[in-house]
Amino acid sequence: MQYAVRPRAAVRPAPLGPAVRPRTRRGRSLIDADALDVLHRAARVLLDDLADLTDRLVLVLQEQEPAYRATVDHDSGATWQEVHRSLRHSVASLLDPRASREAARRCSWKIGATRAEQGLPLDALLHAFRLGGSMVWQALVEETSRTAPEDVRLLVHVAADVWNFVDEHCTLVADAYRQTERRLAWRRENRLRMLAGALLDGSSRIADLPETAQALELPEQGRYVVVAVSAAGPADGAAARAAVARDARVHWHTGADVDHGIVLLGDGDDPERCLPGADDPVPGARVGIGTAVAGLAAVGDARRLADTALRMCPPSGGTVRLTEHLPAALVITAPELGQALADRVLGPLAPLEPADAEVLLDTLQAWLECDGSAQRAGERLYCHRNTVLNRLRRYEQLTGRSLTRPADMVEISLALTARRLRTR
């Protein structure tokens, strides 16, 4: 069966009226050109009356931004000039973007850097720039409405460009502010480190003490003790510093191997009982606490005492308070004399087999640490008290020294300390 194919009727396009006529590229260009003409006419008027616009913006900043209110009250002339300069560059950029763009960018960058140096909050600065952009746009609309109301609709076509300009300069200001803030922070930290380092080295000048006290927020005439901390790793060091600083006012100065804390003591603080947190064991951390000194000028001496205490800490870790180990401190601060004393007091044991001599010296050390108790020394050494007494008697025979003579006991104790510190 064949089917007849009915021919399709031709469809004629409906005529387009003015309301739906598509916009050609040339039509768009003409609208943009007209919009720019309107923008430029209004911008020229703003540029001629820029002082009034500046007055209005400064007044709005005083009313709406507390940070600027204080700035204007302090130096109204400088603030007015800054606002005027910024507005002039902004309006000039509307008239000739290519010629004015870089000058406007430099102006905004300088404002951001200057306000960072002055400590004006960044939020307040960005708010000021956005208020300025809003006021310029409102002034453009008002001027066009006054002189050619029918052209106001054309400003819509350049609104995005105006606000993109505002956003670009807010970003510039924020970048300049943050870069300056980082630079100032680095400079402050570096200056603070130099002042604290000179204080701890003992090289700080008397004339620098007031500045140092202000920078470290410590009284120039306070009582101080220095604590030295050494740790195998950053985590151990941080834990030790946290323990030491518990309930204490401490300024830390970090070093390659040792960190030093300058501790302010209260009027009623006992130097021998200060920093109770330092006695909490932190595995792998060694802590040395010096003696108290009066005034920041003496902190260098306190640091040397803390380093001496640190040198007496066992390698495995722990805390040494110098006031509890003064005899050992005497030995460690004069290592040549300590070695000479050890050779004189312990030298007669040299002919013995090393292991034999070691047993005698370990027994003597344990007996002294147990306050002269042979019973407790034997328990520590896992031997009978009589064995301890026999070894002590043998030491007396070999060296000709008496463990009941006070002068001999002082020399023996110091010699053993020198031996222990030498063998670490």
Total domain count, the chain = 3
Provide the phi-psi class of 343: left if phi over 0, else alpha when psi is between -120 and 50, else beta. Answer: alpha
Q: How many residues does the chain have?
A: 424
pLDDT score at 69: 83
Answer whether 196's CB lies under 8 Å from 299's CB: no
Q: What is the pLDDT of residues 313-363, one digit of tens each?
A: 888 888 888 888 887 788 888 888 888 888 888 889 989 999 999 999 999
pLDDT score at 128: 93
> Does residue 11 lie in a domain region?
no
Average pLDDT over residues 366-382: 92
> Does residue 18 lie in a domain region?
no
Q: What is the pLDDT of residues 166-185, one digit of tens each?
A: 999 999 999 999 999 999 99
Tell me which DSSP letter residue 206 carries: G
Asked whether the predicted pLDDT for residue 21 surpasses 60, the reply is no
pLDDT score at 116: 94
CA distance 99 to 92: 9
Which structural domain range is residue 275 located in? Answer: 219-324
* Boundary-marking domain end, from 140, 169, 185: 185
Query: Among 193-202, 212-221, 236-245, 293-302, which is the least confidently predicted range?
Result: 236-245
Answer whether 325's CB lies under 8 Å from 306's CB: no
Both 150 and 33 in one domain: the answer is yes
**Backbone φ and ψ of 346, nearest 5°:** -105, -10
CA distance 237 to 358: 35
CA distance 66 to 220: 36
CA distance 412 to 345: 6
SS3 394: helix
> Does residue 246 lie in a domain region?
yes
Average pLDDT over residues 284-291: 87
pLDDT band at residue 16 under the 50/70/90 scheme? very low
**Backbone φ and ψ of 252, nearest 5°:** -95, 140
Q: Which helix (H) or strand (E) holds 193?
A: helix 156-201
Asked whether the predicted pLDDT for residue 228 surpasses 50, the reply is yes
> Does residue 342 lie in a domain region?
yes
pLDDT score at 193: 92
Q: Which of 268, 312, 316, 257 is nearest to 290 (CA)?
A: 312
pLDDT score at 281: 66
Both 297 and 170 in one domain: the answer is no
> Does residue 97 lie in a domain region?
yes
Answer whether 375's CB lies under 8 Å from 385's CB: yes
* Boundary-marking domain end, from 262, 294, 324: 324
Asked whether the predicted pLDDT for residue 29 surpasses 60, the reply is no
pLDDT score at 272: 65
pLDDT score at 103: 93
Both 151 and 241 in one domain: the answer is no
Q: How many helices (H) and strands (E) does the chain have?
A: 16, 6
Both 294 and 347 in one domain: the answer is no
Question: Which amino acid is present at 318?
Answer: G
Higher-scoring residue by pLDDT: 108, 316: 108
At 78, which CATH number? 1.10.490
Both 55 and 168 in one domain: the answer is yes
> Does residue 72 lie in a domain region?
yes
Block residue for tokens 């004399």: 337
Asked whether the predicted pLDDT for residue 210 surpasses 50, the reply is yes
Tell me which DSSP letter residue 150 carries: G
Average pLDDT over residues 276-294: 81
CA distance 372 to 25: 107
pLDDT score at 423: 66
pLDDT score at 25: 42
CA distance 147 to 153: 13
pLDDT score at 418: 84
Q: What is the pLDDT of residues 41-83, one digit of tens each?
A: 999 999 999 999 999 999 999 888 888 887 777 677 888 999 9
Q: What is the pLDDT of residues 229-256, one digit of tens each?
A: 988 777 777 887 887 777 778 899 988 8
Both 152 and 277 in one domain: the answer is no
Contacts of 381 (CB under 8 A, 6+ apart): 362, 363, 366, 388
Higher-scoring residue by pLDDT: 369, 239: 369
Both 168 and 34 in one domain: the answer is yes
Beta strand ranges found along 91-237 (DSSP E): 223-231
pLDDT score at 424: 61
pLDDT score at 158: 87
To the nearest whole number, what is the mean pLDDT of the chain?
A: 85
Both 137 and 52 in one domain: the answer is yes
**Backbone φ and ψ of 337, nearest 5°:** -65, -40
> Does residue 366 lie in a domain region?
yes
Q: Using a CB cutoff of 8 Å and minimum separation of 24, what contacts does 47-55 make? A: 47/88, 47/91, 47/92, 47/95, 50/84, 50/87, 50/88, 50/91, 51/84, 53/87, 53/135, 53/136, 53/139, 54/80, 54/83, 54/84, 54/87, 55/80
Both 264 and 399 in one domain: the answer is no
Q: Where do the H-state alpha helices sit in 282-384?
A: 299-311, 326-333, 335-346, 354-369, 374-381
Both 242 and 166 in one domain: the answer is no
pLDDT score at 201: 92
At 403, which CATH number? 1.10.10.2840
Higher-scoring residue by pLDDT: 283, 37: 37
Both 308 and 337 in one domain: the answer is no
Both 113 and 176 in one domain: the answer is yes
> Does residue 207 lie in a domain region?
no
Beta strand ranges found along 238-331 (DSSP E): 249-253, 259-265, 285-289, 293-294, 318-321
Average pLDDT over residues 204-217: 90
pLDDT score at 27: 42
* Boundary-marking domain end, from 277, 299, 324: 324
